[in-house]
Structure 1
Amino acid sequence: MHTRPSLRRTRGARPRTTARLTAALLTAAALLVSACSSGSSTSAGGAADAVLAALPRATPSALSSYYSQRPRWRSCGAPGFQCTTIKAPLDYAKPGSGDVRLAVTRKRATGKGRPLGSLLVNPGGPGGSAVGYVQQYAGIGYPADVRAHYDMVAVDPRGVARSEPVECLDGRQMDRYTQTDLTPDDQPEQNAVATADRTFAESCGAHSARLLRHVSTVEAARDMDIVRAVLGDPKLNYVGASYGTFLGATYAGLFPGRVGRMVLDGAMDPSLDARQMNLDQTAGFETAFQAFAKDCVRHSDCPLGSSGTTPAQVGDHLRAFFRKLDAHPIQAGDADGRKLGESLATTGVIAAMYDQGTWEQLREALTSAMKKNDGAGLLALSDSYYERDADGHYSNLMMANAAVNCLDLPPAFTGPEQVDKALPAFEKASPVFGDGLAWASLNCAYWPVKATGEPHRIEAKGAAPIVVVGTTRDPATPYRWARSLAHQLSSSRLLTYAGDGHTAYGRGSSCIDTAINTYLLAGTPPTEGKRCS
């Protein structure tokens, strides 16, 4: 896609906002494992035969020192929050060979009623800071009743933000990387895409060699079990959004007997291979764009058409605008001299597809760019997606995103020739975004570490009820993924939100919020097949 790193980036749960796409609360996407899987056969479409196997119930003696840690909490961040650091083995196969230090934050339960223990929250990714999410939103913005009965807790997964972050490119190098032309018109431009991905991968290998082999989702899930034990909770209560659903489902597959109340919102499907996942997401973004297009032409300020203009025509107008920017980037008022070209403009549009509350902002940004040659609005949307600040500094979101994605699954494509052959399928899935999204899927081709994961199913037999939430027009985690994961998990309840945007909890549906809050507080899952709008 025109968004530089993996298409498999998704954003996680956050408060609905009209003007702000803060990626401290928005994150990325990936999948899968093999270290604890049995079998490896996968069909071309990604229907995995492998099943994630549960770990032994007893904690190995070699890990006992990690499980028995006594953390030292200190005040941090906003009032009421505490922070600590917890150790986990770098390599679970060799616990004595080195550690990683995990950043953990919590806000103690505020009410006087019966305490329900800790509620671990992950907003998505891979690469999004869960610590930042809880301190900025969940710890103060989750429903009051939930915060009254639970300690709100988050841990940055290994390699992310405060937990020994993966490092790759510096700010200026990232600026160049995010502007790579992902709609190459000839062989030299195709070679440039490959060179950009290779340079990114080599930089990660040079700066983060120690970590790159040990940032898989399986390892992050095992880390969460150490955190659970250190907090003194017999079972893990958990809300995961977007990639956080894959992390949570992986935990359930590894430790089914330790699952407490678990909500997986904006669910991912671990049975898919990387190519099929990216193709599904391409179709998901097209679905979201169609919804945006229908809404846009109802407004007098829509720069892509007016009443009577079809979504297909809106798409044609947007593609024509992108082609114009490809040839002639426009000024964007950027202190570092960046102009708005096709890549950054497309990223800005993609960013706004995650939340229908941002559609007005997108219309305004497109109007400024198309009619006034002012690209500042679209550049701001793009920068929020990449977590780039005004000083030109990027968080490690995209570095960690690639590191986890490329370890969890074999690459979607191993070279430009494969991408070229797949273009018709991607363009069919999305006439607006398909070609760019296909080229974005090349990002793991040159990764310095071989993937340890594979597509697999997660059954989590013996787990307590798990609530899987899917949104029918979710761009980043298509609804079919929620249905698939719910079918795989032996104890799942599928909760459907018929609407737009990425994830559903805390985004304005009282039906969804009531169902999830009732489950978290009383342990009563929604009825099977419950549907909200």
Structure 2
Amino acid sequence: MRALARPVTAAIITLTTLFGYAPQPVLADRGTGVPPRVRYDSAAVITWEPCPEDALVQCGTMRVPADWAAPYSQQIEISLARRPASDPSRRLGVLMVNPGGPGASAVTMALDVESVSTEVAERFDIVGIDPRGVGRSAPILCDQALVDTKPAPMPVSESGFAQIATFNQRLAADCASRSGPAFYHADTISVVRDMEAVRVALGEPQINFYGASYGTLIGQLYSEYYPRNLRALVLDSVMDHSVSAADFMDQAAEAAQDSFDEFVAWCARDSRCVLRGRDIKSIWAQLLERAAAGTLIDPYDPPSTLRAWDLIGAAFSAFYDPQWYSFAHYVQDAEQPAPAGRRARMPVDLTPHSFPAVVCQDWSLPVDGYPGYRERLREMAVRAPQMLTSPLVLTATAGCLGWPIPPSNPQRPIQPASGPVLLVNARHDPATAYAWARQLTDKLGPAARLLTYEGWGHVAYSHSRCVSGAVDRYLFDLTLPEPGASCPAIEPEPYGVG
């Protein structure tokens, strides 16, 4: 899971999806209870053209069934980008990439020359497929004005709880009316089948895959369903798709609280922290009380007020890089608002966003009505006394209340890996709990290896050359780090990663 960098403010774009002829897939039942293999006729092709953003990258489209269980019915168009290996003489194949979300664009990741190291770009074709419902692949579109009225997922009454479910039903109806058939089939199993169809169309006997955050779920499922077609698998900042709803929320809350505690510890040791020497937890408690009472002024948008949910979301987003310096200023300015006329600093990004059409088809998150939901909130607050919850996981849980489409890909036991898998995770990741990485490594068995980044933030490859170097070596020759291997923490610099 990955927070959006900035709130969405663009107007809704009218989507016109054209369905025409495309070669039909032939499905062969594996007889194992898992999705059947995908076999495309030789006529199936990807239509390529130079990407407008970068002529060195090829942008492609391909038609796939909207519902893989009914392959001869309506189709959707998925989009992808391919950056060819810059040293073809040393080419090792295709590296498919996904940056997570759910909602981040893999096409954009393939277009970004800095998404992987120069050495990886030399030896692999970098291919990014926007998952169905995301980016350029039959995007799920909703009325922004309606999205902006979403109630906070921390109700204090039965009626507030009911309002969340009512809103979700309205949102689902609105999104469905604007988005076409991908809305009903946005689960990650369907994404994995699309990937396999692309592999066949590319003519590649095997692929390599790097998935970050929610992209690790794509990698896990592809490895389970098509293990023979996978050469290397990197799971960076790991989702554990086998945990119960209760553990999902509790472990995520503990990870968010750990990141808050790390912020407090940093402030105590870094002279550039504007809150150094002060009782940050006490200040934070007072801010939460004022927010709950409706009297906390938004320091960057007065006289608007901040809810407790907004305050927690600000902290959570700040911990992604982490942006500790900026967040300390944010807390200071919230405690003591700037005088009128003073130019405010730019705010920390506040709230992550995820697509309930994806999450609610991939996860079963029952809460047993308002009493059960209230108990879950209480238990998370015990584990996370300052953060109270994981904003990302609570957004997902609340977003599925009343959702009209039942999960088609709920949590289930993880199958052991058949080939070498490299998992990497920051010990102090606010979004994907380090516990998930440990648990998944154990469940994948002896073929899996966990590399721990001892620092902070989300998506370890971008935070540490030690991590990226280990990932690159594995991609080149499938050499895994030693058991228990780790990379040292790098202290963050002001306003950016270390």
TM-score computed with the length of structure 2 as normaliser: 0.84
**What aligned pairs does 1:304-383 form with structure 2 within 5 A after superposition?**
305-307=275-277, 313-326=279-292, 327-331=294-298, 339-356=305-322, 358-373=323-338, 379-382=347-350
Residue number in structure 1 paired with 2:25? none
SS in 2 for 1:297: helix
Structure 2 CA distance for aligned equivalents of residues 176 and 210 of structure 1: 25
CA RMSD of aligned residues (A): 3.1
Higher relative contact order (CA 8 A, sep 6+): 1
Equivalent residues of 1:123, 1:240 under 8 A apart? yes
Measure how far apart 1:253 and its partner are. 0.1
SS in 2 for 1:140: coil
User: Does the alignment pair 1:241 with 2:241?
Assistant: no
SS in 2 for 1:158: coil
Distance 1:377 1:349, change over 3 A: farther
Identify unmatched segments of 5+ residues in structure 2: 9-27, 489-498
Equivalent residues of 1:498, 1:532 under 8 A apart? yes
Structure 2 CA distance for aligned equivalents of residues 492 and 54 of structure 1: 22
Give the aligned residue type for 1:472. Answer: R
User: Does the alignment pair 1:262 with 2:233?
Assistant: yes
**What aligned pairs does 1:113-512 form with structure 2 within 5 A after superposition?**
113-135=89-111, 137=112, 139-170=113-144, 172-177=145-150, 180-208=151-179, 210-299=181-270, 302=273, 305-307=275-277, 313-326=279-292, 327-331=294-298, 339-356=305-322, 358-373=323-338, 379-382=347-350, 385-386=352-353, 398=354, 401-434=355-388, 437=391, 440=395, 441-459=397-415, 461-462=417-418, 464-490=419-445, 491-508=447-464, 510-512=465-467
Distance 1:244 1:368, change over 3 A: same
Equivalent residues of 2:297, 2:304 under 8 A apart? no
Structure 2 CA distance for aligned equivalents of residues 415 and 203 of structure 1: 24
User: Does the alignment pair 1:64 with 2:19?
Assistant: no
SS in 1 for 2:54: coil
Structure 2 CA distance for aligned equivalents of residues 232 and 278 of structure 1: 41
SS in 1 for 2:224: helix
Structure 2 CA distance for aligned equivalents of residues 55 and 435 of structure 1: 35
Give the aligned residue type for 1:368. Answer: D
Measure how far apart 1:373 and its partner are. 4.5
Measure how far apart 1:378 and its partner are. 7.4
Equivalent residues of 1:332, 1:376 under 8 A apart? yes
Structure 1 CA distance for aligned equivalents of residues 88 and 135 of structure 2: 33
Structure 2 CA distance for aligned equivalents of residues 376 and 182 of structure 1: 29
Distance 1:216 1:302, change over 3 A: same
Measure how far apart 1:436 and its partner are. 7.8
Structure 2 CA distance for aligned equivalents of residues 80 and 234 of structure 1: 24
Structure 2 CA distance for aligned equivalents of residues 82 and 141 of structure 1: 16
Distance 1:187 1:345, change over 3 A: same
Residue number in structure 1 paired with 2:75? 99
Equivalent residues of 2:364, 2:410 under 8 A apart? yes
Measure how far apart 1:433 and its partner are. 2.4
SS in 2 for 1:330: coil
Give the aligned residue type for 2:127. Answer: V
Identify unmatched segments of 5+ residues in structure 1: 1-8, 13-20, 25-35, 39-51, 387-397
Give the aligned residue type for 2:436. Answer: W
Measure how far apart 1:94 and its partner are. 1.1
Residue number in structure 1 paired with 2:474? 519
Structure 1 CA distance for aligned equivalents of residues 168 and 284 of structure 2: 26
Greater displacement, 122-131 / 489-498: 489-498
Alignment identity in percent?
28
Distance 1:460 1:183, change over 3 A: closer
Structure 2 CA distance for aligned equivalents of residues 530 and 332 of structure 1: 43
Measure how far apart 1:271 and its partner are. 0.8
Distance 1:118 1:364, change over 3 A: same
Q: How many residues align?
A: 461
Distance 1:275 1:459, change over 3 A: same
SS in 2 for 1:528: coil
Distance 1:209 1:98, change over 3 A: closer
SS in 2 for 1:95: coil
Structure 2 CA distance for aligned equivalents of residues 145 and 436 of structure 1: 36
Residue number in structure 1 paired with 2:493? none
Residue number in structure 2 paired with 1:389? none
Greater displacement, 206-215 / 490-499: 206-215
SS in 1 for 2:149: helix
SS in 1 for 2:220: helix
Measure how far apart 1:272 and its partner are. 1.1
Residue number in structure 2 paired with 1:48? none
Equivalent residues of 2:238, 2:432 under 8 A apart? yes
Give the aligned residue type for 2:470. Answer: A
Equivalent residues of 2:253, 2:389 under 8 A apart? no
SS in 1 for 2:260: helix
Structure 2 CA distance for aligned equivalents of residues 130 and 219 of structure 1: 16
Structure 2 CA distance for aligned equivalents of residues 354 and 436 of structure 1: 13
Measure how far apart 1:429 and its partner are. 1.5
Measure how far apart 1:460 and its partner are. 5.2
Give the aligned residue type for 1:403. Answer: A
Structure 1 CA distance for aligned equivalents of residues 7 and 60 of structure 2: 23
